[in-house]
Amino acid sequence: MAETLDELGPVDWIVVEFPGPNFGNGQIAPFLDDLVKRELVRVLDMVFLRKTEDGTLETAEISDLEEGQLGEVRMAEAELAMVLSEQDVMDLAATIEPGHSAAVLVWENLWAAPFGSAIRKAGGQLVASGRIPTQAVIAAFEADAQAEDETQTPEALKEGS
């Protein structure tokens, strides 16, 4: 953990859902491990959820899963802060479809810690934050490209001359 709370970087969380009972078949773990090794993020908590077809919830910690499902990420277990409460997990589990599995990940953005510390030392404080879903950004780029294509039609070019 950061030496002082003043050095703590922004903390984010995500719930990533997968169809079926597996958590991405170990394909994601190497990328998360790379971010940790490069000290861009610090994993603070990680919980794995499975919802059976009848809606029954099964929860698992890193140590409960097979090595092939997580790869190197299993090594991070000793350093986890366990910031999610049982109620947090139950609330997040409501977002998962029956028959699917999910990983809940909480991490500190180490890359942003010096910036956040500088803001706090200058007397500033974070008053709002948000995240734009990737799908929304992609849709915006696609809409911009389509609008640009429409302005470049032969009819639009004739009108502009």
Judge if 92 and 42 occupy the same domain.
yes
Helix (H, G, I), strand (E, B) or coil at 94: coil
Residue 17: beta bridge partners? Answer: 102
CA dihedral for 83, 85, 22, 74, sign (positive or negative): positive
pTM of the model: 0.72
Pair (78, 26) in one structural domain: yes
Examine the domain organization and report whether 11 and 72 are in the same domain. Answer: yes
**Structural domain boundaries enclosing 22:** 5-124
Q: Does residue 120 share a domain with residue 41?
A: yes
> Could you tell me if residue 121 is left (phi over 0), alpha (psi between -120 and 50 degrees) or otherwise beta?
alpha
Instruction: Enumerate residues 6+ apart whose C-beta is below 8 A from 88.
Output: none
* Segment (H or E) for 151: helix 134-151
Does residue 108 share a domain with residue 42? Answer: yes
Over residues 81-94, the mean pLDDT reads 85
78 pLDDT tier (thresholds 50, 70, 90):
very low
Q: Within this chain, do residues 85 and 138 fall inside the same structural domain, yes or no?
A: no
Model pLDDT for residues 101-124, shown as the tens digit of each residue: 998 988 889 999 999 889 989 999
Q: Do 41 and 56 share a structural domain? A: yes
- The pLDDT tens digits for 4-25 are 666 788 888 899 999 988 776 6
- Give the integer Cα–Cα distance in Å for 45 and 104: 8
- How much is the average pLDDT of 39-53? 89
